[in-house]
A and B are shown apart, each in its own frame.
Chain A
Amino acid sequence: MSGRDRVYFVLCLLLIIGVGIFQSWNVALTMINFALISAILSLGLNIQWGFGGLFNVGIMGFVALGGLAVVVVSAPPVEEAWRAGGWRVLSALFVAVLAIGGSLFVWKRWRPKKYGAVSLVVFLTMAFVLYRFLFDPAVLAIEKVNPALSGFLGGFNLPVLLAWPVGGLLAAAAAMMIGHIALGLRSDYLAIATLAIAEVLVAILKHEEWLTRGVKNVTGLPRPVPYEVDLQQSIWFQEWASQLGIDGIEASSLTVKLCYMVLLIIVLALIFTLCQRALNSPWGRMMRAIRDNERAASVMGKDVKRRHLQIFVLGSAVFGIAGAMMTTLDGQFIPSSYQPLRFTFLIWIMVIVGGSGNNWGAVLGGLLIWFLWIQVEPIGLATIDFLTKPLHPTSPLRVHLIDSAAHMRYVMMGLFLLLVLRFRPQGLIPER
């Protein structure tokens, strides 16, 4: 890290301290926590794009899978729903897996023969009918169990921290399957394919109510840190807060956020160290060689397709971990909140602005762009408010402009991306 790079990070720190002083420390800490998760996400994308040159615009899907992991791991199970149709749903899914495996088998075995395609269609139709026969009643039964409060299967009631690695594994498994399908396409086709696959993943999470409650959301997920109320009621905490001279309620909320922050920093540091070591290892050099010239690397005996799959899986696992962390931080799983602008394209801006191919750059981009994403709105609002002061407070132009300030962030983000691409295409901290 050169001197100038340090200046960037110090600037970030100053910006956040500024928020703490001028807005509130609560806001600043919330922002730091989400900025840390953004930094992890952009490290993941840096693995895929910076190291490997893979154009993945399906980040949202893997983040959502990480969120699902939190539900499955830590939500309390709904016994009644399991009795109503849990096993039937699982057997339906088992049939689906068998059907896909079986159809691959049929296709391989019989394609050369005369009725290959016909037998495949017959087989798939039968499997589909059986699947719907098992699946539909079971789902209806599960969703009927106390629909206002549960109506889904629930999870395994395990500690929520376990969901973080599980989220990574889930995303990695999905990436393995998707990678087999999509990698090997040329870069812009890969982009379209991953964009589409992420949409499908989120659509599944949004509509399979037996699994995720769909648009009804899963709320009240367990936390890895104490609850504010418990802190406020414990004697040692009250004494400690009064010694520091902070109001008990605010102190408890700050403490909870600090606890989260420590957890997030530990994970970020871990992933960052691994990334840094990977980048500087022979493996990292090989990856960059493949990125810069696939054909030459392939001539040198590198298995390009396999390496691409590897890097796609690794990066996606990081997205899954970050997704699980984000859902834990929110304490709820909201499938409809996953939108490509926020969870895919914003991460791309972070990596491009920060500097693709450089882990420090990715982290910086994550912190800085998250700060701007949050702060553009109040800054824009203040500017418009100042500029339209001469107008009457109810003048339609002024009202309209003030309403529109909330959407300024998209314009600003696009502008940042275009300006950096044009005038500093290597990013703020370039690849060494």
Chain B
Amino acid sequence: MLDAAIVLANFVVIPALSYGSLLALGALGVTLVYAVLRFANFAHGDTMSVATMMAIYCTWWLQSLGIDFIRPLPTALLAIPFAALGTVGLLLVIDRLVYRHYRQAKAPPITLVIVSVGVMLILHGLSRMIIGVDEQRFFDGGRFIVSAGEFKEWSGLKEGLAIKSTQVIAIVSAVTLMAYLFYFLQRTRTGKAMRAFADNEELALLSGIRPQKIVTSCWILVAVLAAVSGTVYGLDKVYKPFTYFQLLLPIFAAAVVGGMGSPVGAILGGYLIAFSEIGLTYAFKRVAGHLLPPSWVPDGLLQLISTDYKFAVSFTILVAVLLLRPTGLFRGQAS
């Protein structure tokens, strides 16, 4: 019984929690842009990619300087602030050069979506040109917090539980960032102004909120979210420009499922997508093996959907939500 729970925790719950944390951070980035600037930002995946690239170069630079006082944590954590700063600069420049014109011309949202596709292509091309298409690993430090062998020895169970340090980093950094974000939105003056602006632009403008300030702070938040989620995802898995482009889809799914424009929805959507992706494609045979008497255990893998369709799961949820409840689980802004 306990063994079954450990297997489940090891292969489903912990990976889904860390993956879900990253999806939630990504979805928050998308949802903030949607709430404040009112378009679906197709460039977010590649923004994360460029941010991660900056973090990787910083990590290499720090490593070459021999800075490793945060061992056993990976050096990349030190690089995140630099990457975040770089990304803030990048996004503000892009906003000034590209998006501002359409905002002032009061272009329809769909034009902004097409514009963001252009930005996506440029960022994607840049990350391919600068760091190349290959996989980059930049993890250093201790791999495991709890390794399977140690856990078995300690608990005397048949199944081991392994917790990777990167998984914990992902969860902890996501929770910290989310807590800060909600503090910012609920308690600070700028955060309140931002929510007011998202809620009703004209009313906000009438009460003297400066739109440029709102937009700037929105991009700053998005840049920090992109830098943290991108870097931590790269630490946990691997960095590759194309993978980050593909991340756009589950991120969108999470944001839409939760309700575009709703931060709470984005977080829940992220975890929902992660748990269903991993849960539906996991082979439950080993869990069943611990729960059922041996003669009852079926021959098959007890896998609902083959892992090939991991991506398809999130899209199916996305389509189902769009059909049944187009505003998402938490009423976001639709139509």
Contacts and interface: CB of A to CB of B under 8 A. Distances in A.
Is the pairing of A and B real?
yes
Interface of A: 55, 136, 181-182, 185-189, 191-193, 195-197, 199-200, 203-204, 206-207, 341, 345, 348, 352, 403-404, 407-415, 417-418, 421-422, 425
Contact of A417 (B117, B322, B326): B117
B334 A200 contact: no
A196 B249 contact: yes
Nearest to A206: B308
Contacts of A352: 114
A95 B125 CA distance: 45
Given A55-B113, A410-B122, A421-B111, A188 B39 contact: yes
Interface stretch (B168-176, B225-233, B311-319): B311-319
A87 to B, nearest CB: 22
B306 interface: yes
Contacts of B329: none
9 contacts: A189-B326, A191-B113, A196-B249, A200-B312, A345-B120, A404-B132, A410-B122, A414-B120, A425-B111
Contacts of B319: 181-182, 193, 196-197
Interface in B294-335: 300, 306, 308-309, 311-312, 314-316, 318-319, 322-323, 326, 334-335
Given A181-B322, A197-B315, A418-B119, 13 more contacts: A136-B300, A182-B319, A188-B110, A189-B322, A192-B256, A195-B252, A197-B319, A345-B117, A407-B128, A408-B129, A409-B125, A414-B119, A414-B124
A200 B315 contact: yes
B149 interface: no
10 closest A-B pairs by CB: A410-B125, A414-B121, A411-B125, A414-B122, A196-B315, A407-B128, A417-B118, A404-B129, A207-B308, A188-B40
Nearest to A422: B101
B148 interface: no
B103 to A, nearest CB: 13
Given A186-B334, A197-B315, A404-B132, A414 B125 contact: yes
Contact of B121 (A181, A196, A345): A345
B44 to A, nearest CB: 12
B249 A418 contact: no
Contact of B40 (A192, A199, A200): A192
Contact of A411 (B129, B132, B315): B129
Nearest to B133: A407
Interface string B234-255: 0000000000010001001100
A403 B308 contact: no
Q: Is the interface of A mostly helix, strand, loop or mixed?
A: helix
A421 B308 contact: no
B204 interface: no
Contacts of A341: 121, 124, 245
A203 B318 CA distance: 16
Contacts of A415: 118, 122
B1 interface: no
Nearest to B128: A407
Contacts of B318: 192-193, 196
B85 to A, nearest CB: 23
Nearest to A339: B242
Contacts of A191: 40, 113
A59 B313 CA distance: 20
A181 B326 CA distance: 11
Contacts of B114: 348, 352, 417, 421
B316 to A, nearest CB: 7
Nearest to B308: A207
A352 B130 CA distance: 28
Contacts of A345: 117, 120-121
Contacts of A181: 319, 322-323
Nearest to B39: A188
A214 to B, nearest CB: 9
B98 interface: yes
B109 interface: yes
Contacts of B185: none
B215 interface: no
Contacts of A418: 98, 115, 118-119, 122
B122 A411 contact: yes
B126 A411 contact: yes
Nearest to A405: B129
Contacts of A55: 110, 113
Most chain B Cβ neighbours within 10 Å, of A410, A412, A425? A410
A168 B284 CA distance: 41
Contacts of B300: 136
B322 A185 contact: yes
A193 B322 contact: yes
Contact of B115 (A136, A196, A421): A421
A414 B124 CA distance: 9
Nearest to B97: A418
Given A196-B318, A411-B126, A422-B101, A188 B113 contact: yes
Contacts of A404: 128-130, 132
A207 B39 CA distance: 34
A411 B110 contact: no
Nearest to B123: A414
A413 B125 CA distance: 9
A382 B315 CA distance: 42
A204 B316 CA distance: 13
Contact of B132 (A186, A403, A414): A403
